[in-house]
Structure 1
Amino acid sequence: MKRYRKLLFVAIILILLSSHNSYCEPIELNAKSSILMEVNTGRILFSYNPHIKLPMASTTKIMTALIAIEYGNLDDIVTIKKNSVGIEGSSIYLKEGETLTLRDLLYGLMLRSGNDAAMAIAEHIGGTVDNFVKLMNEKAKELGAINTNFTNPHGLHDANHYTTAYDLALITREALKKKEFRDIVKSKLWIADRDINKYFYNKNKTLWQYEGGDGVKTGYTKRAGRCLVSSATKNGMQLIAIVLDDYSWFNDCYKLLDYGFSLFKPKVVFNKGQFIKNVEVINGNKEKIPIVTNKELIIPMKDSEIENIKVKIELPEKIYAPIEKNQKVGKIRIYLNGKLFAVNDLVTKYRIEEKSIFVKITDYLRKILNN
């Protein structure tokens, strides 16, 4: 009996050690708010106070860059106005009358966190800073970032300028869909086409310190504290880690990324064009048509979650010809851990033409004769 208890005690110790190595215990962070999101699906892998409103400092510039990329041409020549010169805080030292491309300004915005670059971009894209801020707020609401409000394009403190970790993740995820944005935030150095102050070194140490690090933005003011949006890609999966008001900002983002990459792996639920079932065709030159998925679905999951995937197929019993290729005819709903996770379209594999009048009459007569 004593030997059994001893073996049991050893087993418990081994389990606890194993749990520590695989991040099964809660993550201890210093942030007021934090979140870990997978980019492809938007699945939240970890969160702490994700919906409390906080100042965001220069992580504001993620939205500034997103709006500039959506509304502007990166090869546009921008003439710097007086309003964009001498802005407090981080700067790329713009001069009134100087000309730069919008591309150079975006690199100065995201790598050097230039507040003057933010103002120049806002005036160029919006005509006025107020109009640009309006575009920022409209985009936030469009993305579902309903607890966010922008009053400026740079992030200097304003009582009505705030976001949440969750909202900031939504904004960052949207921005990372843009190739131009991805290229900018993963760059360690950019050399602008100007005579002085042309070397823009990235302030985001994630690119150097974390394996697979590829973004995104630092931020700091006395009121906001240290804010960081980090991203990294490993094993075909990109994660966004966000901490707001966190003195250990980089280390805590790395903890979140380690947690995500350690515990979650991308699992293929179904591939694009995967066969689901055959459906009967009425008045077509073929009796049945294969129904397939319109795109692939890959979900980041723990190994233990695979058995918790449930699939619901919604298809009609019959489809009337004519039928076009890739015609939407149904839905496939994916449930994870009892909650609806994704809804994708089911489509026809190929085209089916309607029977001619002659064939319809012939079929009708044949049925009469058979009866």
Structure 2
Amino acid sequence: MTKKRMSIFMLILILSFSFCITPVFSAETMLVKEEPFDVEGESAILIDASSGKILYEKNIHEKLFPASVTKIMVLLLAMEAIENDRISLDDDVLISENASGMGGSQMYLEAGEIQKVEHLIRAIALRSGNDCSVALAEHIAGSYESFIDMMNEKATELGMNNTHFVNSTGLHDENHYTTAYDISLMSKELLKHTEIHKWLSMWMSTVKVGKEKDVTQEMVNTNRLIHDYPGANGIKTGYTSNAGYCLSASATKGNLTLISVILKSPSSAIRNKESMKLLNYGFANYDSIPVAKKGELIKTIPISKGKSEKMDVIAEGDLSLLVDKGQNKEVEKEILLPDKIEAPVEKNSKVGEIVYKIDGEEKGRLSLLAKEEVKKASLLDMMGKVFSRLIGK
């Protein structure tokens, strides 16, 4: 065969082979699912508040400016401080010059006036007061700078890997950013604190401000869904010219609680409409089955070498299983615990797990905790037990 014929033959062979090749897609490309609809916003997410499962996503890891949605972290740290007895709702907070000088949305607090922690939380939840968020931050941490460190530490703890806070207000700063996914994480964590719900779901309220408390501030929740959407119970709006219109919204119907997040929407009306669209989609397609309550007794197991001979084991937290509507709801549970636990055992230490399945497929699991501390038995304790057994025979 001549060189010319050989070249032609090879060209034909290459072309023929090219047309027979199946296109190759990367694993990342193949995993991308097409969402059932689009959302008018740069980024959006819908999750189940119990499991955290993502039900809808759009650019969920894109770093964007959160505006006042930032204050979800402020409220979360406040609730933790209250539950840990570091502060109380009745604490008097002296308003600093720094707090009173905050711009943007505010309650017009005066430097030197006194406000209760509860009033500040209520004003953050409804009015989104920047002055209130700074005053509360200073009260919790002792200094504003220390509180910002707390915000970032908590973000790291929650796995908010694309978040960085530089203030407690959400006022624009190029180094203050987060993502829809990260906001869903802190929103989910906030909703675990049941006391916050009464403020997040409040539509209207008043607070007296000023050194003489001679001015009454009327507050209407900036989150219109609280008024307009059945079952809405949170969480926080935000807006700056750089951030656009943002909203982390939550709603509950039956046993199912959903959280939707929209960032950089073009208007408040569109932000609200698209949030409702996400929530409607979730409620139309999913159900939730409650299977465990925090502190619920799961089992009593024997203790070896302990002052007590048995110990109650309890569920770590609430758990509900997310299922498709119409799915078989027969739940199986498998308790993973040793036959016996050796003392000492600390209170609330993890001693096992409980696994929940539907049709053999794992749908969720929960840690099991020791209800009470069990100290190791002394030699005298052991002798006493032996003596008691002998007497009992």
Distance in 2 between residues matched to 1:190 and 1:243, nearest whole Å = 26
Equivalent in the alignment of 2:171: 156
Q: CA offset at residue 85 of structure 1? A: 2.1
1:222 corresponds, among 237, 241, 249, to 241
Q: Is 2:170 the counterpart of 1:143?
A: no
Distance in 1 between residues matched to 2:344 and 2:109, nearest whole Å = 59
Q: CA offset at residue 209 of structure 1? A: 0.7
Structure 1 residues 98 and 309, CA gap change in structure 2 (3 angstroms): same
Q: CA offset at residue 225 of structure 1? A: 0.7
Structure 1 residues 333 and 107, CA gap change in structure 2 (3 angstroms): same
Structure 1 residues 281 and 102, CA gap change in structure 2 (3 angstroms): closer
Deviation readout 1:77-133 (Å, 9 max, x if unpaired): 112221122322111111122221121122222211111112222222222211110
Once the two structures are superposed, the pairs formed by residues 98-117 of structure 1 within 5 Å of their partners are 98-117=113-132
For the Cα contact (< 8 Å) 2:65–2:176, is it kept in 1?
yes
Distance in 1 between residues matched to 2:237 and 2:341, nearest whole Å = 56
Equivalent in the alignment of 1:244: 263
- Relative to the length of structure 2, the TM-score reads 0.71
Q: CA offset at residue 176 of structure 1? A: 1.5
For the Cα contact (< 8 Å) 2:334–2:354, is it kept in 1?
yes
Equivalent in the alignment of 1:285: none
For the Cα contact (< 8 Å) 1:91–1:117, is it kept in 2?
yes
Q: Is 2:106 the counterpart of 1:96?
A: no
Structure 1 residues 104 and 310, CA gap change in structure 2 (3 angstroms): same
Equivalent in the alignment of 1:345: 368
How many residue pairs match? The answer is 329
What amino acid sits opposite 1:118 in the alignment? S
Q: CA offset at residue 179 of structure 1? A: 3.0
SS in 2 for 1:217: strand
SS in 1 for 2:215: coil
Equivalent in the alignment of 2:353: 331
Distance in 2 between residues matched to 1:268 and 1:120, nearest whole Å = 39
Between the aligned residues of both structures, percent identity stands at 37
SS in 2 for 1:219: strand
Deviation readout 1:334-364 (Å, 9 max, x if unpaired): 468977742443999xxxxx9958989xxxx
Q: Structure 1 stretch 300-309 or stretch 50-59: which is displaced more?
A: 300-309
Equivalent in the alignment of 1:199: 218
Q: CA offset at residue 310 of structure 1? A: 8.2
Structure 1 residues 75 and 25, CA gap change in structure 2 (3 angstroms): same
Structure 1 residues 79 and 28, CA gap change in structure 2 (3 angstroms): same
Deviation readout 1:17-73 (Å, 9 max, x if unpaired): xxxxxxx97022012211112222322222222222111000001111222232232
- Structure 1 stretches lacking a partner, 5+ long: 1-23, 283-288, 349-353, 361-371
What amino acid sits opposite 2:149 in the alignment? K
Equivalent in the alignment of 1:85: 100
Once the two structures are superposed, the pairs formed by residues 274-293 of structure 1 within 5 Å of their partners are none
1:119 corresponds, among 130, 134, 153, to 134
Distance in 1 between residues matched to 2:72 and 2:138, nearest whole Å = 17
